[in-house]
Structure 1
Amino acid sequence: MKIKVGYLVSYDYEMFLTSVKQLYDYVDTIFLAIDKNYLTWSGNSFEIEEGFFEEIKRFDVKNKIEFYFDDFYVPGLSPIQCDTRERNMLLKKMGDGWLIQLDVDEYMYDFKKIRKFLKQHWYLTIFPKFTPVIFRGIWITLFKKLPEGYLYIENNERFPFITNCKKYDGPRTNYSISNHIINAKAIHQSWARSEEEIFFKIKNWGHKDDFDTQKYFELWRDLDINNYRNYKDIHPMKPDLWNELHFMPASSIDDFIEHYAEKNKQVLKGISFFQLVKAFLIRIIKK
């Protein structure tokens, strides 16, 4: 049984090292999927400096990292369709075992506990066709970097990231198989970026057509240490999902990760045999 991690790398590639440092020692192989024409899912060009590849080479002392270049942008497909397509291509490339897909701005701290959890559930990877599962974690979403620290959201927002199956119906998810919440927390540097990075992101990510990105950008830009408590229900598509903002002093992203991890230990929720049998029987009945 192998534990493999796949990353989708694009315009925000500089965040990759912060993420991979959290798990490098606890996984077997790491794949970096990059569009060979350096195009986003919206068909816009991005650049990756050559120094990035040199830095990866220096970092990868155990030769775990493998680059995967392919055509991930398809004219005529929506950004979210390109997203799902690329993730499925990456799943196929990753092969068998526990397959974890992360974005470069997701930081799974204290990953050794996640490794232990997956090792305990090794039997689910023997015949994954009969025991397909997706494990979901919880995002701690960083919303804005201020001179004094970070604004963040802590509201049990769930996201899928581990599976033993070979096909997604949507981004990192499959609606026909069993999903389990294991409470693993990931610090998600989603919106805590510079104005230039945020503006580029909202014009190119999978959700760019789902809301008024310009209006939301202006809301984000106006936030500061004095007014953030006045902002409620600010998720761009499901407002009450982000009901309030919290603040933590931090000088850098590494500083935030360290302090947040100290106060919020990873406590994973186990999966009972009864749950697995029930999910299997439901799957058989539906077929």
Structure 2
Amino acid sequence: MIKVGYLVSYDYCFLLTSLKQLYNNVDRIYLAIDKDLKTWSGNDFELPQTFFDELKAFDSDNKIEYYFDSFYVPDFSPSMCETRERNMLAQRMGKGWLIQLDVDEYIYDFEKVSHYLKKYWYLNLLPKKTPIVFRGKLITLFKKLPDGFLYIENNEKFPFITNVPKYIGARFNNNVRNHFTNIAAIHQSWARSENEISFKIKNWGHKDAFDTKNFLALWDSLNSTNYKDFRNIHPLVPEVWNELQFLQSDSIEEFIDKYSKKNKQKLIYIEPKKILKALLNKVFK
């Protein structure tokens, strides 16, 4: 089975866009929501009834399952809360190909990803003997402008699919084999309103890791005439976001459509012989 889990919080409004990319090609969808509506920083957020109404209307095949629990721990840092919640959600999701996405991550052409995972169905026969993490690449949207989006395309790698989840930091698990798949996901990340960006900076898992005030000022100063003047702008690892690009579009849906047509999913497969050899070595060890 192919299962997808989301951590739903203050940026819930992006979820439907993500779901529309993959809904028809997954078996189950899990939404983890703090039962007290607390962020990892302990701040309150709201989930209007319209959010649940829209999901109910969208969920034609009854694939969505809600998982309410206490995900905020006062003595934990935001990043520790995130890792804890991801592991709790993974346990709730059970067995199979387990995909964890943020609500603002959009994997286009997901039918290809589904076929890719089904090709390796045998890795879930004895998953503890054949643990693996599949990594993809992020296309980071940095700012929504009146006539389009500024974005970063530098193949920033992120782990998001596994058959044996045991996260040690956010979605990372470096204790098992990691394979880069080249699966591309558009990440809406910073392409939000100024109020949304300000709230994000105060509540996400990295809020204590950099000067958020200066970074917000940089973000605010960018426009369609000066963006080429800025390089190496990632707040934690500058060179990861080495340059900005621009794609004219009126909405996120149009951006996804235009970008996906120019950048087809080109997946990197694992040689079956290598997988089978590793499997046999572990089974008969």
* TM-aligned CA deviation for residue 273 of structure 1: 3.0
Query: 2:116 — aligned with what?
Result: 117
* TM-aligned CA deviation for residue 31 of structure 1: 0.3
* TM-aligned CA deviation for residue 237 of structure 1: 0.6
TM-score relative to the length of structure 2: 0.97
1:223–1:164 CA distance, 2 compared to 1 (3 A): same
Measured in 1, the distance between the counterparts of 2:281 and 2:72 equals: 36
* TM-aligned CA deviation for residue 170 of structure 1: 1.3
Count of aligned pairs: 284
**What residue identity is the alignment partner of 1:153?**
I
Determine if the alignment matches structure 1 residue 86 to structure 2 residue 89: no
Cα deviation digits, residues 96-154 of structure 1 (max 9, x gap): 00000000000000000000000000000111100000000000000000001000000
Contact 1:137 1:184 (8 Å CA) reproduced: yes
Measured in 2, the distance between the counterparts of 1:31 and 1:6 equals: 5
Measured in 1, the distance between the counterparts of 2:255 and 2:238 equals: 25
Determine if the alignment matches structure 1 residue 167 to structure 2 residue 166: yes
* TM-aligned CA deviation for residue 169 of structure 1: 1.1
SS at match of 1:202: helix
**What residue identity is the alignment partner of 1:159?**
F
1:151–1:283 CA distance, 2 compared to 1 (3 A): farther
Query: 2:58 — aligned with what?
Result: 59
Query: 1:33 — aligned with what?
Result: 32
Unmatched segments (≥5 aa) in structure 2: none
Identity %: 61
Measured in 1, the distance between the counterparts of 2:220 and 2:274 equals: 45
* TM-aligned CA deviation for residue 168 of structure 1: 1.0
Query: 2:179 — aligned with what?
Result: 180
Query: 2:225 — aligned with what?
Result: 226
Structural RMSD (CA): 1.6
TM-score relative to the length of structure 1: 0.96
Cα deviation digits, residues 59-114 of structure 1 (max 9, x gap): 00100000100000001101000000000000000000000000000000000000
Query: 1:133 — aligned with what?
Result: 132
* TM-aligned CA deviation for residue 283 of structure 1: 8.5
Contact 2:144 2:191 (8 Å CA) reproduced: yes
* TM-aligned CA deviation for residue 278 of structure 1: 7.2
Cα deviation digits, residues 193-239 of structure 1 (max 9, x gap): 00000000000000001100111000000000111000000010110
Measured in 2, the distance between the counterparts of 1:133 and 1:275 equals: 13
SS at match of 2:216: helix
SS at match of 1:41: coil
Query: 1:99 — aligned with what?
Result: 98
Unmatched segments (≥5 aa) in structure 1: none
